[in-house]
Amino acid sequence: MMEATYIKRKKDGRIHLKSGNRGDRVIGWTVISLAVLTVVAFLFFNYAGLELGSALKETAYNLKVMFLEPTLNHFSLEEALYQVGITLSLAFLATIIGAIVAFFLSLLAATNLAPVWVSRIVRIFVAIIRAVPTVLWVLIFAIAAGLGSEAAVLGMLFHSIAYLVKAFSEAFEEVDNGIFEALRSTGANWWHIVRSGVLPSTFTYLLSWVFLRFEINFGVAVAMGAAAGAGGIGFELFMASGFYFDLREVGFITYAILIIALLLEVISTRLKKRYFPTTSD
């Protein structure tokens, strides 16, 4: 049979189904490695002082108290709103300043706007910044610049910049080359091209990225309040759970955070649907 030449058989004569390409193999190895590492991890764990049964039971009880009987004991509702405001403000400041810095940096990171070596340097710089966890940035700034909102905002700024530079520069790189040519042929200089060619066609897109980052920064700001003493609702959460052991208050604060986060998510999903039709239906 002439078709026989196209059939791939195993040693035992059974017919192969897969083509055995590299992508499939790599996926297979990745999944297997992750599985093995996970099993090893469970053997490695430090189980000091853990009694799983009672811990689970206690957690279930705690969750019930938290979510079904939320109240405020150590401060008033007004105070709680004020603290939420602080967290939102920290997130907002880090996002806005981050967006401005990221805008200029991303002009240097976009391969169609800057020389290759410049864009490579910016990218490496951004990758290193990203590798340091935000909480470490905040803590480092807290000692370097003195504790205060400045340390929190500056620390959060780094990841915001890294995130937005990546998003912005990719947006710039997608700008139609024809626009550049047209503007260049009129004798426009680099700054002119950015202002009247790149910016108008990407502005709304950039704006929705900024908002997505704001959503992330809210969570980060909560975390910084709890872990780095940056104030706001995160700090109150830390106090309620680690200092007063007040489950009902923890529940209340968690609800407050959840509501804000959900609101932000709803808005950002709308933005995504509107401006990134490809990533969501």
Q: Which of residues 131-170 bind another protein (CB under 8 A)?
A: 131-136, 139-141, 143-146, 148-150, 152-154
Q: Is 130 in the site for another protein (CB under 8 A)?
A: yes
The full 3-state SS of 54-96, as one line of letters, equals HHHHHHHHHHHHHHHCCCCCCCCHHHHHHHHHHHHHHHHHHHH
Q: Is 250 in the site for another protein (CB under 8 A)?
A: yes
List, in sequence order, every residue forming a beta bridge with 15; answer none if it has no partner: 9
Q: Is 76 in the site for another protein (CB under 8 A)?
A: no
Task: Describe the crossing of helices 247-275 and 52-68 by its angle, rounded to 10 degrees.
Answer: 80
Q: Is 3 in the site for another protein (CB under 8 A)?
A: yes
Instruction: Tell me the window of 79-87, 106-114, 177-185, 186-194 that interacts with another protein (CB under 8 A).
Output: 79-87
**Total chain residues near another protein (CB under 8 A):** 94
Buried b (16+ CB within 10 A) or exposed e, 96-107: ebbbebbbebbb
With respect to another protein, which residue has the nearer C-beta, 21 or 177?
21
Q: Is 102 in the site for another protein (CB under 8 A)?
A: no
Give Cβ neighbours of residue 146 (< 8 Å, ≥ 6 apart): none
Which 227-246 positions form the footprint of another protein (CB under 8 A)? 227, 231, 234, 237-238, 241-242, 245
Where do we find the tokens 């947006």?
171
Instruction: Tell me the window of 107-115, 166-174, 179-187, 258-266 that interacts with another protein (CB under 8 A).
Output: 258-266
Q: Is 37 in the site for another protein (CB under 8 A)?
A: yes
Give Cβ neighbours of residue 115 (< 8 Å, ≥ 6 apart): none
